[in-house]
């Protein structure tokens, strides 16, 4: 993960990038390669200086705009192309008394930064849209909700599994900084596919198991890692969406004849294993 600050003042701007040294150790000519991955609409870089500072690679650059910046600017960031595939960049932009904060990753490369105080509705809508969009990009996440609904045998158990799963996703946030390795998006998606296969296998081979309430939280932590580097609003929106979808799925599953559940779980088992193999190829 890296962070950056953009300060816009009339026709000029300064930008400061901070990124851990271990993410740039393999980058050839990081003094130019990193800043080349950041583009600010209508601006050209006039000078730049990079250096290592206490385990952090620090770059400062000056920009000039071809026209005065109004209340917004389009920013493109592709740092993941030269660092690591799961790189996340947090940009804080300031113009006078106004500021904005945006997040970039492999899925979100171009964002409009707004230099005006957003309305409450805009903040909620933007956070919800970002979190929901990120969650819907995960096939494993969608498959897991189907399996989770199949795993519940009654409304009470559905409630317990839903609460434990969502709580575990939030637990991943404080746990993730203590994980010493980073995962690429494809690898993490493959891991999530295994959670689908595992829970589906338990439904197929252990249909009377009473320990699902203990298994689901462990699997939920894995799903929560996808949101651990993003603002809490992302996971909030995703959790609300998951709750709504689980409610719909449970209503459908509750009307399904009991003998159909194991065959349906078998299909999900095959789907989970198939998606796992697809992610590793």
pLDDT digits (tens, 9 = 90+) for 104-117: 988 889 988 888 76
Contacts of 248 (CB under 8 A, 6+ apart): none
**What pLDDT score does 120 carry?**
67
How remote is the C-alpha of 237 from its chain's centroid? Answer: 12
DSSP β-ladder status, 98-104 and 56-65: unpaired
Determine whether 56 is exposed, middle or buried from the number of CB atoms within 10 Å of its CB (0-12, 13-18, 19+): middle
Report the pLDDT value the prediction gives residue 258, as an integer from 0 to 100.
Answer: 87
Mean pLDDT of all residues in 175-200 = 87
Query: What does the mean pLDDT of the chain come to?
Result: 90
Paired tokens of 143: 């498959």
pLDDT at 117: 64
pLDDT at site 9: 92
Segment 242-259, tens digit of pLDDT: 999 999 999 999 999 989
Query: Is residue 21 predicted with pLDDT exceeding 70?
Result: yes
Residue 233's pLDDT band, with cuts at 50, 70 and 90, is confident
Mean pLDDT over residues 4-23, rounded? Answer: 93
| pLDDT for position 96 | 87
* pTM greater than the 0.75 cutoff: no
Give CA separation, 276 vs 165, 198, 264, 268, in Å. 21, 12, 18, 12
């Amino acid at each position: 993960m890296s962070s950056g600050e953009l300060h816009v003042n009339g026709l000029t701007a300064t930008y400061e990038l901070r990124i851990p040294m271990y993410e740039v150790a393999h980058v050839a000519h990081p003094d130019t390669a990193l800043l080349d991955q950041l583009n600010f609409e209508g601006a050209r870089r006039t000078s730049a200086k990079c250096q290592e500072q206490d385990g952090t690679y620090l770059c400062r650059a000056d920009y000039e705009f071809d026209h005065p910046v109004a209340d917004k600017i389009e920013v493109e960031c592709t740092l993941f192309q030269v660092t690591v595939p799961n790189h996340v960049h947090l940009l804080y932009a300031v113009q006078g008394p106004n500021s904005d904060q945006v997040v970039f990753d492999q899925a979100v490369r171009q964002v409009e930064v707004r230099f005006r105080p957003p309305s409450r509705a805009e903040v909620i809508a933007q956070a919800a849209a970002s979190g929901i969009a990120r969650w819907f990009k995960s096939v494993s996440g969608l498959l897991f909700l189907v399996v989770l609904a199949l795993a519940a045998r009654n409304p009470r158990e559905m409630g317990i599994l839903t609460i434990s799963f969502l709580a575990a996703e939030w637990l991943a946030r404080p746990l993730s900084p203590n994980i010493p390795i980073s995962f690429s998006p494809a690898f993490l998606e493959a891991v999530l596919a295994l959670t689908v296969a595992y829970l589906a296998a338990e439904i197929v081979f252990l249909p009377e198991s009473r320990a699902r309430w203990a298994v689901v939280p462990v699997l939920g932590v894995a799903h929560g890692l996808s949101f651990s580097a993003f603002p809490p609003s992302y996971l909030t929106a995703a959790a609300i969406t998951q709750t709504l979808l689980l409610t719909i799925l449970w209503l459908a599953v509750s009307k399904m004849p009991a003998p159909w559940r194991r065959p349906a779980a078998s299909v999900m088992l095959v789907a989970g294993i198939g998606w796992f193999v697809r992610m590793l190829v």
